[in-house]
Structure 1
Amino acid sequence: MAVSNLIAEDPVPDAAKVTSGSSFYLAMRILPAEQRDAMYQIYAFCRAVDDIADGDLPRGERAGALEQWRTEIDACYAGKPREGLVALTQNITAFHLSRDDFYAVIDGMAMDAAADIIAPDETTLDLYCDRVASAVGRLSVRIFGMQEDAGRRLAHHLGRALQLTNILRDIDEDAGIGRVYLPRELLSQQGISSTDVNSIVNDARLPRVCLTLAERARAHYEQSDAIMAAAPRAQTRAPRIMSGAYRTILEANLKRGFDLPRSRVRTPRSRLLWIVARNIF
């Protein structure tokens, strides 16, 4: 599941279609109207391809539907979008968004569509994080107006921080659909060699794997903080809110622990509003 885990039929969301209590909604609401609209278009695209990857269609049909989205993106860049993608095309032009980043998101969703990911190796996990999270970040930082090098570095680190947080938060939810994104090498270090999903997530040694991955996420958050601290504050308000919200999730999971039973951790709306207030100016 992508950081976006975000519409197949209607690719033009507005504020009412984005969950009002979500960190994404709160982060995007503070943006100027043009940037906000562009981010909703990115959200819509991500939601469309994520829904395909996680849907019930046979895998071959999911692959075909994702490939059709590649064709749709090509049409946008050719200036010939279908009616529902006119706004996305306008934002592609206005913010100089890279076609390769849209392709990368599609490629990441194709990884989920092709087969259930179970204990990927480190290289595959990092590629997955880059495609489903950091590629979204690369699109986003252009919309925020960040300088190219700083923006790409922020997308790299914050994307991975958010996706690793997602993975740690959603261990049991992902297992319910036959997936385990925890890397094979970390599992092996703790003596977990099974490829059976239930055996992995119910193993008493799993918390040690999770703690190692959590420290990796923390390191990416710290790198992100340094990049954002050196950038104009107006350009980093939205990513700072996203970082604050997701870091709260990570710390809450660490406080709860990863031993069974793992109750679902939720961020109080009051905490989200505090994070927004702290970063709005």
Structure 2
Amino acid sequence: MNPKATPGALQAQVAGSSFYAGMRVLPKAEREAMYAIYAFCRAVDDIADDQVGDRASRAAALEIWRDDIDSLYAGGPPGQAALVAQAVSRFELARADFHAVIDGMAMDVVGDIRWPPAATLDLYCDRVASAVGRLSVRVFGMEEAPGLALAHHLGRALQLTNILRDIDEDAAIGRVYLPWEPIVAAGIAITVPLEVIADPRIDDVARTVARQAQAHYAEAQAILATRPRGHLIAPRLMAAAYAKVLARMSAEGWRAPRRRVRVSKLALLWTVLRLSLTR
């Protein structure tokens, strides 16, 4: 077995993330499958965010991942995709969802995303976040209809929250994921990323996105409130924790200078305990 694909190695990759607290309470098979999905996402995300490699080499690296995923599903040598092979087999994960994640990362490689139209932003969120959710709900053992709905709404809620949290970090590498329409409606001149996000009217734009995220959190919570079948502490944890991050950002606003709001690991552990007692 590839030493990077062993359960211990995969766990080590996840241990520093905010998702770890929710994953570690899953049963062993589900936990290891989620570690593998996370490791895949981390690998392709690192390619997309590589600020050293040229775009052609990064695009080629993503295509190698796509080819390896295809080979895995065809029964051939899985290459790098060996790390998700067991999860794919055990939980019947869909190849299309792995492809969607790669497609989302490719959007960042083709050219730095700047003030995309709302439809393009929604497509990006579906690929880099909701597709991961679709893989995850299979592992959680959810039925198809509530699982797909939860992946749709919670994935978008989490990704929009990350976009609002990372405005300054993204602009520093030439990206602005805030959508075109509210930027134009606010009267902000489209110049360069650092100038756009420095405009005080960016707060109005961010609040528009925040309302969209809040609506998706509400839909996700409504699905979870029906107590669908599955191991749902992880999505309940992420919904609770990141909704609080969004609330804190909304209270502070998005006018520069902004303070990056972080997920408290202590708060995550407390939320895991609370959810474990109330499920």
Band of TM-score, shorter chain? over 0.9
- Residues in 2 aligned to 1:248 and 1:19: alpha-carbon distance in whole angstroms: 22
Where does residue 67 of structure 1 map in the other structure? 63
Where does residue 40 of structure 1 map in the other structure? 35
Which stretch of the first structure deviates more once superposed, 73-82 or 53-62? 73-82
Where does residue 14 of structure 2 map in the other structure? 18
Identity of aligned residues (%): 54
SS of residue paired to 1:47: helix
Write the deviation string for residues 99-126 of structure 1: whole angstroms up to 9, x where unpaired. Answer: 0000000000000011011100011100
Which stretch of the first structure deviates more once superposed, 257-266 or 146-155? 257-266
Q: Which runs of 5+ in 2 are unaligned?
A: none
- Residues in 1 aligned to 2:58 and 2:80: alpha-carbon distance in whole angstroms: 20
1:27 paired to 2:1: no
SS of residue paired to 1:14: helix
Is this contact kept in 2: 1:23–1:241, CA < 8 A?
A: no
SS of residue paired to 2:19: helix
- Residues in 1 aligned to 2:230 and 2:91: alpha-carbon distance in whole angstroms: 16
- Residues in 2 aligned to 1:263 and 1:121: alpha-carbon distance in whole angstroms: 26
Query: 1:192 Cα shift?
Result: 1.4
Where does residue 6 of structure 1 map in the other structure? none
Query: 1:141 Cα shift?
Result: 0.3
Where does residue 153 of structure 1 map in the other structure? 149
The match for 1:225 among 213, 221, 226 is 221
Query: 1:87 Cα shift?
Result: 4.7
Query: 1:89 Cα shift?
Result: 1.4
Which stretch of the first structure deviates more once superposed, 180-189 or 76-85? 76-85
The match for 1:213 among 201, 209, 212 is 209
Query: 1:270 Cα shift?
Result: 2.3
- Residues in 1 aligned to 2:85 and 2:96: alpha-carbon distance in whole angstroms: 15
Amino acid at match of 1:217: A
Query: 1:275 Cα shift?
Result: 1.3
Query: 1:267 Cα shift?
Result: 2.7
Query: 1:10 Cα shift?
Result: 3.8
Query: 1:11 Cα shift?
Result: 5.0
Is this contact kept in 2: 1:161–1:217, CA < 8 A?
A: yes
1:162 paired to 2:158: yes
Is this contact kept in 1: 2:93–2:138, CA < 8 A?
A: yes
- Residues in 1 aligned to 2:94 and 2:88: alpha-carbon distance in whole angstroms: 8
- Residues in 2 aligned to 1:168 and 1:83: alpha-carbon distance in whole angstroms: 36
- Residues in 1 aligned to 2:35 and 2:76: alpha-carbon distance in whole angstroms: 20
Query: 1:230 Cα shift?
Result: 1.5
The match for 1:126 among 122, 125, 133 is 122
The match for 2:92 among 85, 96, 103 is 96
- Residues in 2 aligned to 1:184 and 1:86: alpha-carbon distance in whole angstroms: 39
Query: 1:234 Cα shift?
Result: 4.5
1:246 paired to 2:242: yes
RMSD of aligned residue pairs (Cα, Å): 1.6
Q: TM-score, normalized by length of structure 1?
A: 0.92
Amino acid at match of 1:145: G
The aligned length equals 272
